[in-house]
């Protein structure tokens, strides 16, 4: 028996030791490989190369299957790629292994929001609240969700909580001021007074300063129009709803409420029709009706309403501009140019109308070797520090093969406003023309992330053409 044990020790133990050494050698590189995988994933994620990042973090999970950081990154990559099935596949083990922290609740909120389940998303946002400044984005999202349901008082409550946590957040103050504007003008004025200078804030401050003996309904209507002019349709709907709830008969307020509801995803047709029947000769009513029909794609009906509005108020430059934009949408560029020029003629000091006509000439490549180029030169002389007009003029120079001058003008436009999507878009066009694909892709990505109009769609098409993933 002893001899057998001695034979066992002599022959088997060295083999076990060798096997143990081999296992150590196999396992030793794991920490280093793990670090390399995480570093590779982080670098790829930072530069937007989601495919390489996905592979790297998957490799990290092989070494550390329940690593919260890797699971979170994989979830973020899947969400960025709009692969919500994959996102939930990473989110579930992240939750199972690490529990419902505030970060996990926020991740579930984003996932449910992407699925269109606003109630579940809001439940997770509320669960993630901790009473710190980190709650501000969650409270903003809760307020946005309440706004989408027209739960305006609830939205105000969330924004007041956010403002108390981060009194120096201008976007929170503006949102709260815009909601309070028609009903609590003094509180709105105090909030607006603390905001940085901007065209919209100044317009609303002037509106409040001029508020006198007018009725609550009329003041709320004027607030709604000011917010519409600023593109703040959700807040405009709140003001117009308040105007209509005062018992005064303001067909124009009804018409613009119908327009705001349609833009915010609800059926505004009944309100539009009621307003037109009640006041067919009201220029504001026909104005709102024209914008509504254009949004519905009925350009003939839109032009009929807008031209009737213009006949009732022929000095209204905004009406002339909307007629021009409607002709443009229908492809009648000659009539579009005529009406947009008419708008500038009626209000030559209005920079927005001048920008709209400048953008029309550049975006449509219309008369850029004739009247369009002449208008852009004239506008640049009138507004030399305007980044948008400089960008449109730079593109016109490129269109006319004046590449060096175009490059200088587009660089100047970006120097005037490095965050301007139009300046960045046309600079990307020039870089692509010069063969600098990577530089063009970076600028197109910026436009895609920051533009909210047709430029975003154009940037998306350009990125697809260049084979670059969307950010």
Mean pLDDT of 137-165: 95
Which has more pLDDT, 266 or 48?
266
Please give the Cα distance from 105 to 124 (Å, whole number): 5
Residue 163: CB atoms within 10 Å: 19
Are 153 and 103 within one domain? no
Q: What single-letter DSSP state applies at residue 135?
A: G
Is 466 among the domain residues?
no
Is 66 among the domain residues?
yes
For residue 399, what are its two tokens? 């269109």
Predicted local distance difference test score (pLDDT) of residue 212: 76
Please give the Cα distance from 62 to 30 (Å, whole number): 10
Is 137 among the domain residues?
yes
Are 55 and 144 within one domain? no
Domain of 83, CATH number, reads 1.25.40.10
Predicted local distance difference test score (pLDDT) of residue 58: 59
Mean pLDDT of the chain: 88
The 3-state DSSP class for residue 215 equals coil
Please give the Cα distance from 393 to 407 (Å, whole number): 11
Predicted local distance difference test score (pLDDT) of residue 127: 96
Which has more pLDDT, 18 or 190?
190
Which has more pLDDT, 84 or 381?
381
pLDDT tens digits, one per residue of 431-445: 999 999 999 999 999
Are 168 and 88 within one domain? no
Can you give the residue range of the structural domain that contains 124? 28-128
With beta carbons less than 8 A apart as the criterion, state whether 368 and 399 touch: yes
Q: What single-letter DSSP state applies at residue 400?
A: T
Predicted local distance difference test score (pLDDT) of residue 63: 58
Predicted local distance difference test score (pLDDT) of residue 35: 61
Are 162 and 203 within one domain? yes
Is 176 among the domain residues?
yes
Domain's final residue, options 77, 112, 128: 128
Please give the Cα distance from 265 to 280 (Å, whole number): 25
Residue 213: CB atoms within 10 Å: 5
The 3-state DSSP class for residue 280 equals coil
pLDDT over 60 (residue 202): yes
Closest CA to 42 of 54, 31, 33: 54
Predicted local distance difference test score (pLDDT) of residue 129: 96
Is 256 among the domain residues?
no
Predicted local distance difference test score (pLDDT) of residue 22: 41
Residues 6+ apart with CB under 8 A from 378: none
With beta carbons less than 8 A apart as the criterion, state whether 258 and 270 touch: yes
Which has more pLDDT, 62 or 352?
352
Most confident by average pLDDT, 60-74, 91-105, 384-398, 444-458: 384-398
Are 167 and 226 within one domain? yes
Are 163 and 224 within one domain? yes
pLDDT tens digits, one per residue of 168-188: 789 999 999 999 999 999 999
pLDDT over 50 (residue 400): yes
Predicted local distance difference test score (pLDDT) of residue 321: 98
Closest CA to 121 of 150, 159, 149, 152: 149
Are 141 and 227 within one domain? yes
Q: With b meaning 16 or more CB within 10 Å and e meaning fewer, what string describes 372-395? A: bbebbeebbeebeebbbbbbbbbb
Q: Count CA atoms within 13 Å of residue 122 on its CB side.
A: 16
pLDDT band at 242 (very low <50, low <70, confident <90, very high): very high
pLDDT tens digits, one per residue of 274-326: 999 999 999 999 999 999 999 999 999 999 999 999 999 999 999 999 999 99
Please give the Cα distance from 101 to 303 (Å, whole number): 55
With beta carbons less than 8 A apart as the criterion, state whether 243 and 250 touch: yes
Report how far Cα 201 is from the mean position of its chain's Cα atoms. Answer: 19
Is 299 among the domain residues?
no
pLDDT band at 211 (very low <50, low <70, confident <90, very high): confident
pLDDT over 60 (residue 228): yes
Residues 6+ apart with CB under 8 A from 110: 79, 121
pLDDT band at 138 (very low <50, low <70, confident <90, very high): very high
* Percent of the chain at pLDDT exceeding 70: 86
Is 470 among the domain residues?
no
Predicted local distance difference test score (pLDDT) of residue 118: 94
Residue 353: CB atoms within 10 Å: 23
The 3-state DSSP class for residue 245 equals coil
Are 113 and 137 within one domain? no
**pTM of model > 0.75:** yes
Are 139 and 70 within one domain? no
Is 145 among the domain residues?
yes
Query: Looking at the 3D structure of the chain, how many domains does it have?
Result: 2
Domain of 206, CATH number, reads 1.25.40
Are 101 and 145 within one domain? no
For residue 281, what are its two tokens? 């000769």
Helix (H) or strand (E) holding 14: helix 2-27
Are 161 and 206 within one domain? yes
Mean pLDDT of 43-68: 64
pLDDT tens digits, one per residue of 14-23: 443 433 434 3
For residue 398, what are its two tokens? 């490129």
Domain's final residue, options 193, 226, 248: 248
pLDDT band at 59 (very low <50, low <70, confident <90, very high): low
pLDDT band at 42 (very low <50, low <70, confident <90, very high): low
Residue 401: CB atoms within 10 Å: 8
Are 40 and 108 within one domain? yes
Q: What single-letter DSSP state applies at residue 349?
A: T
Please give the Cα distance from 267 to 261 (Å, whole number): 6
């Amino acid at each position: 028996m002893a001899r057998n044990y001695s034979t066992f020790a002599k022959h088997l133990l060295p083999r076990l030791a060798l096997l143990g050494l081999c296992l150590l050698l196999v396992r030793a590189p794991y920490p280093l490989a793990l670090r390399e995988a995480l570093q590779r994933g982080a670098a790829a994620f930072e530069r937007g190369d989601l495919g390489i990042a996905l592979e790297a973090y998957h490799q990290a999970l092989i070494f550390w299957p329940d690593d919260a950081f890797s699971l979170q990154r994989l979830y973020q990559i899947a969400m960025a790629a709009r692969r919500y099935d994959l996102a939930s596949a990473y989110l579930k083990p992240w939750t199972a292994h690490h529990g419902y922290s505030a970060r996990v609740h926020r991740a579930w909120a984003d996932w449910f929001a992407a699925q269109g389940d606003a109630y579940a998303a809001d439940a997770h946002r509320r669960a993630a609240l901790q009473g710190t400044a980190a709650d501000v984005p969650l409270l903003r999202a809760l307020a946005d969700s309440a706004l989408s349901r027209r739960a305006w008082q609830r939205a105000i409550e969330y924004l007041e909580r956010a403002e108390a946590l981060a009194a120096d957040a201008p976007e929170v103050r503006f949102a709260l001021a815009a909601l309070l504007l028609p009903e609590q003008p003094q509180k709105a004025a105090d909030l607006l007074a603390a905001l940085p200078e901007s065209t919209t804030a100044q317009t609303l401050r002037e509106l409040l300063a001029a508020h006198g003996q007018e009725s609550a309904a009329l003041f709320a209507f004027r607030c709604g129009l000011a917010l519409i002019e600023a593109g703040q349709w959700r807040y405009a709907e709140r003001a117009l709803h308040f105007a209509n709830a005062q018992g005064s008969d303001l067909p124009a307020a009804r018409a613009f409420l119908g327009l705001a509801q349609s833009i915010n995803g609800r059926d505004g047709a009944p309100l539009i029709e009621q307003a037109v029947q009640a006041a067919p000769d009201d220029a504001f009513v026909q104005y709102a009706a024209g914008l509504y029909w254009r949004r519905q794609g009925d350009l003939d009906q839109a032009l009929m309403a807008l031209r009737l509005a213009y006949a009732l108020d022929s000095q209204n430059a905004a009406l002339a501009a909307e007629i021009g934009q409607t002709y443009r949408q229908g492809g009648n560029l000659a009539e579009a140019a005529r009406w947009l020029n008419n708008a500038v003629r009626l209000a030559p000091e209005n920079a927005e109308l001048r920008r709209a006509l400048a953008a029309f000439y550049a975006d449509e490549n219309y008369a850029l070797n004739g009247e369009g180029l002449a208008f852009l030169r004239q506008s640049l002389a009138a507004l030399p520090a305007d980044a948008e007009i400089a960008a449109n003029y730079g593109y016109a120079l490129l269109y006319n093969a004046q590449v060096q001058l175009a490059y200088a003008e587009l660089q100047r436009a970006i120097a005037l406003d490095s965050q301007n999507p139009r300046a960045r878009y046309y600079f990307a066009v020039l870089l692509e023309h010069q063969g600098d694909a990577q530089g063009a892709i970076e600028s197109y990505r910026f436009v895609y992330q920051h533009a909210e109009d047709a430029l975003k769609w154009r940037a998306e098409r350009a990125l697809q053409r260049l084979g670059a993933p969307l950010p």
